[in-house]
Structure formats: structure tokens, C-alpha cells
Chain A
């Protein structure tokens, strides 16, 4: 097991290094030279030459990639062209807000999806089960940008239950949570359906196993069997998908942060792209990729701990 954990962590680090390098190469390979892209309309030949030399763009590609990696790994992501502060400072303000949103969304998805899937499995083929089935598929299908816009129109602008914009930066904990409810639902609701289906399927499988039959034969109450024994095993597959889930939710978070004007990586990038603030948008991609790699690595390791067969196939 320890060997697997070390190997998986090593792979995660290797992938992170490759991801950073490929991104650098990709951006350098883009049409037009990066110096003028970075400077935009302000580009004069002198400025361009200065930037080219400062960034080492005249050196061979492998050297450039190596230098970039070294500076990234030592925590230097360049300077935010807007605030003139290091990019890491800008990220330090926005990253926690996005992680908060992702955690809250995962909580919404699990808190609703697991019980719904469980009830659907126990009452298999009932009206409730079919309704949950159709609802799950439908909420998975609806794009996050629509959920965000209509969520804001209905629950914030229309009913006034929750604030429409911001993250409640100046409010206390309760105020922050109040601001978090609607965005977390907009990001997490698609995964409610996903988790409900996953838990339903695995619950049905668990309920048909011998040990559940034994528990029944011993005369344990139905509720005790379902919630104390079966559910504990049936929620294991949900851990498998946390890695994928974080990736998808990060995409949804971009739209939600923009629609609700909530500080975070998505909104930061959106503004950086408009202002051609390349160091910030690059830094944000790296930060987001790091979160994703950590999430997939952790979920793979958790999977291996729960079900050692996972180590062989990795699927």
C-alpha cells in the first residue's frame, strides 16, 4: 500500500511538472510572439526587446522551459500587470474563495445526492425512484451558466432570499455562508443527480449481497441494515468520482463566480483575459491544475485504501 501511495504521489508530481511545461510550450507556440501579446497595443520595438530578454525568450526552448519550471517551483509566477504585485499575492486572495465554493458545492452534492440515491435504491421501481431517475438526468444536463443566471433571477432578484452578488467579504461567518448558499447550489446541483445515480446503483448491488441477507436472517431491523451497514459500503464509489467532480465543478465555478461577481479563480481569470494580464491567467491555470491533480491523486489513494483491487487496474 505504501508503495502505491508513493508511486501515485510521484506520478502526481510528474504530471504537474509536465502540465506546467506543456502549458508554457503551448503558449509559446501560439501564433504571434508572446512579448507583443503581453504588451498589447503598447508594444514598441524597444519594449519588446526588453521583455524578450527579461523573460529569456531568445534562449532555446528546453532552456526556457527549465527556467520557467524553476521559477514556478520557487514560487515566482511573475508580476500581476494590473496590481503590480507578485501573481502569487493575487492568487492568495482568490484561491481560498474558490476552494470554499468547491467544498460547499461538494457538500451540497453529497448531502442531497447520497440520501436521494439511497432512498431510490431502497424503494426500487417506485414512483419516487423513477422521479429521482428523471430529475437526476435532467439536472446533470443543464449547464451551470443557466443554473447560475436563473438561480440569481429567481432566488436573489425575485424572492430576495439570498444576496445576489459578492462573497460577503466584509460580513461575519454567517454573512459569508449566506452569500455561499446560492453559488454552492448552482455548482453542486448537477452533481446531486450524478451522486444519486451512483449511490442508487451501488446500493442495489450491496443490498443483494450475502452479508445483507445474513443480517436480515439475524433479524436486524431494516433501517439498521440499510443505514448502518449497506450505506457505508455503498458510498465508496462516490469517492472515486471526487477527482472528476472537482474538475467539472471548477468549470461550473467559473460561470458562477462571474454571474454572482464572487471573487475567485474563475472571475480572476475572466478579468485577466480581458485585460491581457497574461501572468495572472497563467498563474490561475497552474493553481487550478494543481488543485485538480491533488484531488485526483487523493481520490485514487483513498480508492486504493478502500478497495485494494483498484491498485491493479487504476480504473
Chain B
């Protein structure tokens, strides 16, 4: 940029310089590559999948990998590669929607608890503690079938059980931020509490929260696969890595390929997002590292 160039810097530059910083960390580079591959394969599953993921072809069931079926076929003769690609769509949908909802609701409740009246704080913290008293997978097994297995139930359970996690962190940050001099100054100036929290405290605490959220994405992906494996998650004919694993486990005496085909994308996804989250934290907020 020349000295006379007064045009504002482009926003994308910030994105690319951030990406470059991330790629310098080997773990970050692996994470970015794996996650990009995963997102692209899920986005273009419709184009990439050689077969209809639900098309049944019983005569060709439980085949080993071949030129036609790169990852073989399952017990109904469905193409496993196509099912794995579509399974990626489900995994990413669950991860993104659950993260967005639980962070959004958790941040609002945490701020209300941290800056609202004392009785409301106590009430919210008590309800957080109550929800945290349920082990997630076991709760899902009990209530999943009652609400009907499926994508919505999986997301609902993950969101409800994650809200307290974000809520508590936001609450603690808001309480410590509200003791800062600048907040006292704003209060002395007569600014409303809602405005102080929304306009001044939130921007200060949201960065670390988003980084923690990115580190939770692999947890959601693993939970979706786990719940689908247990039969309380995504239902056939929809496709999920957990369902492929379940089929693979049931037919393990006939073929190993199904469990390998279900486990590989799941490992790539959880490792990729974990590496990315770790690198994001180390690059943009090294302070968070102490707590973990």
C-alpha cells in the first residue's frame, strides 16, 4: 500500500492474515486441511457420491471395496462411500446448529445471571447445576425415544446440556468484568445495565467464548455419531457415521470394512476440528490455555 493510498483496508485481509498465522502452526495447518476437505465433501456430497445413499441392492450386500464401490457395500447393498459422504452433512449440521444455539442461549442466560438481580442469578445457576447433573449420553438414551429419535432430538439434547457450560463461563466473565473501572465509569454516567452488558462487556468476552465453542465442535460430532450408533439419533434411510458404525458392529463377523468406513471419517472430523480449535486458541488467545 503506498503512502497516498487512503482506501480502508479490506476485511478479507484480516481473514487471510489470520489464516496465515494459523497455518504456521503445524497442528493448525493439519486442522485447516482436514476441516476444509470435510466441509467440501459434505457440501458437494450430491455431486461426489457415486450412488444414491439409500438405494438398496441386496444381491450385492457386504462387498469389500472395489472399483465400483470404493468403500464396499453394507448389509442392504447400499454404497458405503455415498453414505459416508452424506453422513458428513448430518455431522456438520448437528455440530454447527448445536454450537450456534447453545452459545447463543448460553451467552444470553450467562449475561442475565451475571448482571441481573441476585435472585435471578441464583435461579439460573441452580438450573444450570440441575442440567449438569445428568450424564448426557445416558439422559439421551432415556428421553430420546420418548421425543422420537431423529436429528431434532439429537440437536435438542446437545443444546440443552451444553447451555450451562457456556452460561457459567459467560456469567463468571461478566461478574469479573463488571468490577472493572470502565464499567463503573459507565454506570456513573447513567448508562443502562442492559446497554453496558450488550455494548461494552459482551465484545470483551465473546472472543474466548467462540474459541471454546470451536473446540466443542468435535464433541458434538462424536455425540451425534454415538447417539446414532445407540439408535436414538439419526434414523435410516438417512445416513450417519454412527449408523455405519452400528451396521459395521452388527456385521463384524462378516466384514471389517463397514466399521473402518464409519470410523475413518469420524476420526478425520474429530481430529481435524480438535487440531483447528487448539491452534485457534494458541494463536489468538494463549491465555485460555492455562485453564484447560
**A interface residue numbers (CB < 8 A to B):** 11, 14-16, 18-19, 22-23, 26-27, 30-32, 37, 134, 137-138, 140-146, 149-150, 153, 197-198, 201, 247, 250-251, 254-255, 258-259, 265-266, 269-270, 273-274, 276, 281-282, 284-285, 288-289, 292-293, 296, 313, 315
Q: Bound state CA distance, A269 and B270, in angstroms?
A: 26
Taking the complex as formed, is B266 at the interface, i.e. its CB lies under 8 A from any CB of chain A? yes
In the complex, B19 has a CB within 8 A of chain A: no
**For window 36-91 of chain B, which residues contact chain A by CB distance below 8 Å?**
none
Minimum CB distance partner of A241 in chain B:
B292
- A30 near B126 (CB under 8 angstroms)? no
At the interface, yes or no: B214 with Cβ under 8 Å from chain A?
A: no
Residues of A within 8 A of B148 (CB): 31
The residue of chain B having its C-beta at the shortest distance from the C-beta of A144 within the complex is: B226
8 smallest A-B Cβ distances: which pairs?
Answer: A251-B137, A143-B222, A141-B274, A250-B135, A30-B146, A141-B270, A19-B133, A18-B130
CB of B196 within 8 Å of the partner chain: no
Interface flags, B127-162, vs A, CB<8A=1, else 0: 101101111111101111111100000000000000
Q: How far is the CA of A74 from the CA of B13 in the complex (A)?
A: 65
Interface residues in B213-233 (C-beta closer than 8 Å to A): 218, 222, 225-226, 229-232
Chain A, Cβ-Cβ closest to B161: A247
B274 touches A140 (CB 8 A): yes
**Can you list 23 residue pairs at the A/B interface with Cβ under 8 Å?**
A11-B129, A18-B130, A23-B142, A31-B148, A137-B278, A140-B274, A141-B274, A142-B270, A143-B270, A145-B225, A149-B252, A153-B259, A198-B292, A247-B132, A250-B135, A254-B137, A259-B249, A266-B137, A273-B141, A273-B231, A274-B231, A282-B142, A285-B141
B245 and A137: CB pair below 8 A? Answer: no
Interface residues of B, Cβ cutoff 8 Å to A: 27, 126-127, 129-130, 132-139, 141-148, 168, 172, 218, 222, 225-226, 229-232, 242, 245, 248-249, 252, 256, 259, 263, 266-267, 270-271, 273-275, 278, 289-290, 292
* Interface residue from A31, A32, A251, A289 paired with B133 (Cβ < 8 Å): A289
Q: Are B138 and A284 in contact (CB under 8 A)?
A: yes
Residues of B within 8 A of A11 (CB): 129
Verify B142–A281 contact, CB threshold 8 A: yes
In the bound complex, CA of A23 to CA of B130 (Å): 10
The chain A residue sitting closest to B176, CB to CB, is A313
User: From DSSP, what is the main secondary structure of chain A's interface residues?
Assistant: helix
Contact of B129 among A15, A153, A258, A282 (CB under 8 A): A15
Which residues of the other chain, B, contact A27 by a CB distance below 8 angstroms? 142-143, 146
Please name all residues of chain B whose beta carbon is closer than 8 Å to the beta carbon of A31 when the two chains form the complex: 147-148
Residues in A whose Cβ lies below 8 Å from that of B230? 254-255, 258, 270
The residues of A that contact B252 with a CB separation of less than 8 Å are 149, 153
Which residue of A is nearest B160, CB measured?
A: A26
Q: A141-B270, A142-B267, A153-B259 are in contact. Are A15 and B138 (CB under 8 A)?
A: no
A22 CA to B129 CA in the complex, in Å?
Answer: 12
Q: What are the residues of chain B within 8 A of A266 when measuring CB–CB? A: 137-138, 141
Q: Which residue of A has the minimal Cβ distance to B222?
A: A143
Are the CB atoms of A146 and B266 closer together than 8 Å?
yes
| Residues A150 and B141 in contact, CB atoms below 8 Å apart | no
The complex places the Cα of A282 from the Cα of B146 at a distance, in Å, of: 12
- A132 → chain B closest CB, angstroms: 13
B135 pairs with A146, CB closer than 8 A: no
Contact (Cβ within 8 A) B143 A26: yes
